[in-house]
């Protein structure tokens, strides 16, 4: 059971037409791009790439907070490489994700603690928990 939001910090708002072969634009105009089906030669990106990018960016933010709790500063070249698979099973379409986290110069056990803390607080991680197969590893 989810807990309701007490305070809204930000609302992302977009308008999409044409589905996977369409166009996406944010209401503030800062996002304006063509969409194309995954694996196609069409110009543009797809929902899986957008989800991977959004989750990666959010996860780095969550790692910053987790690292601060451990009195560690994340290196400038911290990175998350995300892969989001679109597939099918008996229930229809399904997503699966893998996050590979790079924390150069941070000891492996500390990096693992940072990643674990981030996965516990990142809104994307919370949204996917128990809903899709997720693998997160420190590289």
Q: How confident is the model at residue 2 (pLDDT cuts 50, 70, 90)?
A: confident
Half-sphere exposure of residue 122: CA atoms within 13 angstroms, side-chain side: 24
Rounded Cα gap, residues 79 and 60, in angstroms:
7
What number of other Cβ atoms are within 10 A of residue 22's Cβ? 12
Architecture of domain 1-45: Single Sheet (2.20)
For the stretch 6-36, pLDDT in tens is 999 999 999 999 999 999 999 999 999 999 9
Residues 6+ apart with CB under 8 A from 99: 55, 56, 59, 80, 81, 82, 134, 135, 136, 137
**pLDDT at site 42:** 86
Domain 47-138 has CATH 3.30.300.20: yes
The pTM for the full model equals: 0.94
Q: How confident is the model at residue 130 (pLDDT cuts 50, 70, 90)?
A: very high
Half-sphere exposure of residue 92: CA atoms within 13 angstroms, side-chain side: 0
For the stretch 50-93, pLDDT in tens is 999 999 999 999 999 999 999 999 999 999 999 999 999 999 99
* Domain spans of the chain, in order of start: 1-45, 47-138
Q: How confident is the model at residue 101 (pLDDT cuts 50, 70, 90)?
A: very high
pLDDT over 80 at 1, yes or no:
no
pLDDT over 90 at 96, yes or no:
yes
Rounded Cα gap, residues 45 and 24, in angstroms:
10
């Amino acid at each position: 059971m989810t807990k309701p939001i007490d305070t809204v910090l930000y609302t992302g708002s977009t308008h999409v037409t044409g589905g996977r072969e369409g166009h996406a634009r944010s209401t503030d105009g800062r996002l304006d791009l063509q969409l194309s089906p995954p694996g196609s030669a069409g110009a543009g990106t797809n929902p899986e790439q957008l989800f991977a990018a959004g989750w990666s960016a959010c996860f780095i933010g969550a790692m910053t907070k987790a690292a601060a709790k451990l009195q560690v500063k994340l290196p400038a070249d911290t990175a998350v490489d995300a892969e989001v698979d679109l597939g099918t099973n008996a229930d229809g379409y399904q997503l699966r994700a893998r996050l590979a986290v790079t924390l150069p110069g941070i000891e492996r056990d500390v990096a693992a603690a940072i990643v674990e803390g981030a996965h516990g607080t990142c809104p994307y991680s919370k949204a996917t928990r128990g809903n899709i197969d997720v693998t997160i590893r420190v590289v």
